[in-house]
Every structure is written in C-alpha cells, then in structure tokens.
Structure 1
C-alpha cells in the first residue's frame, strides 16, 4: 500500500492543531496525556497524513483552551478536510490530490522538458495526447473537461501566480500535427500576456543541467510549507522534506539562469508558429 498523501485541507488542519499545541508549550506526549489520545495519532494528524474525527479535534481544542474564533475555524476544516469538490470527485485519485494543491497554492513553478504543462494546453492538444492511450472515449472526454476546468485557477479573482520553464523540445514535439501545434503555441503566447503567468524557454543543446532528470512542480502556499510534485510515466510522487525541496528550488533557479528571457522566449515561440504555418 502506498503511503498516505497529505492533502492541502488536511495539512491546513494539521498545522493549525500543531501551532496551537506549540503555542501552549506542550509536546505531543503531554497533549496525549491530557486528552487520552494516542501520541502517534496526534503526530499523524498534525502532519496531515490522516484526518481526525470532529470529536477528536474538539477534545484537543478543549484541552488546549483554544479561543472561539480559531476553534470554529479548525472544526470547520475538520468537517471539510475529506469533502471533495467537483474536480476532485471526477478526477482519478492521484490527480485529485494534485488538483487540491493546484487550487489552494498561492504560487506554482513548473519545469516541463518535453510536454506542454496541463494548465497551458488547448483542447486539441489534450485530445491528441489522450488519443495515443488506451482510454475509452468517455474517459477521454471526462479528462478533457477536468483539464480545462483546472485552468480556472489562472483567471480567478485572486489568480495563481504561475511560472513555467519549458524545454525547447516542448515547442518541437509535433503533438497532433502542425495545425494543432500552431494553435497550441498561439494559445501559449496569449497566456503569457497575463500578469500572473511567466513562460520562459530553456534552449536545446546547452549541455548538462538539472532539468535533464525530469519534470517537477513546486507548490508554494500562503501559510503552509511548500511541496514538490514529481511525475513519471506510470506514477507520481511528492517531496515534503524541506532540505530536498531546497534542492529542487535551486534546480529551478539554475534552469531560469539558463533560460531565455521572456521577450526572447516569446520570439522563439513566434518563430516556431511561423514555421508550422509556413
């Protein structure tokens, strides 16, 4: 069985419980003695890997004498920590967790060496990707709707601050043929006009760089520690360790040093469009 994944809402509840415990100067075992709850359960709840029952949260908050406003907030988090929204209900389980992170992050930085990132894909590009799989047409239609709905985080009232660093190969893959790729690249240029979106291209043939090991996403949150998402052909994973996360952030900054500036990146994209339409 794979290890449990700390979803954003579960993490928010867990960090809230941990914060009020630490503000009272109590260790996990001291709180366990006060509440008669197993210390290993409290540790797991505080990490966000498991969600306590509402009555267990109430017991902890009562023992810590939490003020009414914070008590109401944490109890509300406990009620909704496992309640999926529309996107989560219709997405495959592993994707549902990623969508939660996407929807609750304040900022997202992504290194994509070969394929256009999901938030920037057009419907035709998405269909071309799924056409190469064994998915049924019903599953393809469902995933298309999910992927298009995900893009709303970029245009919301408080939009996601999104930084995409793409390998030049992304522009040259020919997914779906020349017409589909030209449309996709025009859409990419349109998206770069938004203040909350940055797209830069790392040229091919520049030698070794950390991005050669594969794609990754860094999620930053307003009041929670950041997380790295790693995606592979048949699976994905999350990095929570802050030392490892610092390495991925350093890798991203290294890629940004190698990347073309935004203006030159846009010119490269326009040149590719001209070739595809020529």
Structure 2
C-alpha cells in the first residue's frame, strides 16, 4: 500500500522541521521532555518536526532558547522560520494557484537532483513553448489562465541551471505524439536535441516494444535534496500526490534504474529524434 498524501504545506516547512529535529537531537532531548519544558503538546512538536504544521517564528525562537541553540545556527533556523511563512514566487504570480502546484514547484526549485519518468509526454522542464501551451490548454481553460500557466511552466525551466543532475526517462511514444500539431512537435523535438547538450542533463528514451517494466505503472518524479529526505511525486488527471516513506521512495529509485537500463544509447536517441522529425516534416 502506498504511503502518500496530497501536499498541505509549503516544502520549506519540511526544511524547518528537519532543522528543529536536528537541533533537539543534538541536545539529546526527547519530544516528551521538550513538550514538558515548553508546555506544548508532544503531538504538535512532532507535527512541526515533520513539516506538516508550521510553527510561528516566536515559537521557534522559544524552542531554540530552551535548547540553548545560539549564534549562527540559531540565526539560520530563525531565517528558515521567517521564510517558511512567506509566499513563494508562484503565489505572487498566481495568487489562486492550486496548492499541489505551488508545493511541487517549491520542491522542484529546492531539489539538487531530479529524475523523471514519463511514458507518454515530454516532462514539463523539457517542454517547448508551443508544446506546453497545447498541453495546458487541453482541458479548455480560458486564455488568461493558459497564459499564466504557460509563463509559470517556462519559468520552471530555469531550474535546470541549478540542478547538479536532471535525468529524464521518456517513452518513445512521447516523441511520436503530435501535441500541438506537427510544427509544434518538431520544435519540441529540436528543443530536446539542444537540451541534451547541457552537461547536467541526461535524456534517455525507452523504445516501444520492450518487455514489462515498472515504468508501465505510470509517470513519476524522484526529487533529491541537500538536507531533506528524497520524495516521489506523481500526477493523475486532476491532481497529484507525494510519497515520503523511505522504503517506498527507494523502490521508485530502483524502478528508475530499471527503466534507464532499457533506454537507447545517446547516439541512438539522437538518431530516433531526427527520424521522428523527418517523419513530421513529410
């Protein structure tokens, strides 16, 4: 059974929670002992450390005082607390943006490595403008909303410059879909070829006709971070969910490696993409 839930808080709350837990454990103080000293229920303290609830800055300051956390470490954790209460850039651009989109983009921007598998579509960080517009407009949103979401999706591509590694595992079917029509698809495929030249980007294509593999269960994204545990994100038609359980995340990591083992060589990928472009041009 999957251990998943919809995001209900900014990802920065997880970073704050991890810092609070590390501070408490560095003083060898248990949750119940801290609860007794501070007069806060241990259940609430646990929620704060997990990042599922967000404490006020003054509550964080009180905990740090109780733990005798001072100097640079205190300043760092208080800064995390202050930032956790601030709206992120998407909330400023789209105040009514869905919470799942807001949370995912925040995770995406704070990740160090991302591995994404999609059997049928080009992943968002690799989408060209016309391809993205066609995908966004497919559920008949009004023009203004489409324009806003397109702006967000194009801005998301900047993440590629900050990641130490981005691996995209794509099914061959994604290359052969005609999202947005032949011209848009040609532009998309040419964009893929250009992006493969980036040193930190690894684009792999799994050919049609392979035997059963774990990727046939659907698309997913694995996100790794500097100080937080890795998570898995997966989307469905009207929403998205996350997996936080360490063992299950490890299973998805194994699945990604299994999918990658079926992918074409870099040379064959380039040949296939050019072949599909030629077919679209005829």
Give the structure 1 partner of residue 222 of structure 2: 218
> Does 2:21 match 1:18?
yes
Give the structure 2 partner of residue 237 of structure 1: 241
Normalization by structure 2: what TM-score? 0.94
Give the structure 1 partner of residue 147 of structure 2: 141
Within a 5 Å distance, the mapping from 1:54-65 to structure 2 comes to 54-65=57-68
Question: Quick one: distance in 2 between partners of 1:112 and 1:22?
Answer: 39
Question: Quick one: distance in 1 between partners of 2:185 and 2:107?
Answer: 28
CA RMSD in angstroms comes to 1.4
Within a 5 Å distance, the mapping from 1:1-278 to structure 2 comes to 5-89=8-92, 90=94, 91-155=97-161, 158-278=162-282
Question: Quick one: distance in 2 between partners of 1:239 and 1:142?
Answer: 28
**Which one has more relative contact order, counting CA pairs under 8 Å at least 6 apart?**
2
- Shift in Å, 1:6: 5.0
Unmatched segments (≥5 aa) in structure 1:
none
- Shift in Å, 1:51: 0.8
Question: Quick one: distance in 2 between partners of 1:12 and 1:194?
Answer: 29
Question: Quick one: distance in 1 between partners of 2:163 and 2:121?
Answer: 23
Question: Quick one: distance in 2 between partners of 1:234 and 1:3?
Answer: 12
Q: SS state of the match for residue 261, structure 2?
A: helix
What's the CA shift string for 1:162-215, capped at 9, x where partnerless?
A: 100000000011111111111100001101100011100001111211001100
Q: How many residues align?
A: 275
Q: Report if aligned partners of 1:153, 1:160 keep a CA contact under 8 Å in 2.
A: no
Unmatched segments (≥5 aa) in structure 2:
none
Question: Quick one: distance in 1 between partners of 2:137 and 2:58?
Answer: 48
Q: SS state of the match for residue 116, structure 1?
A: coil
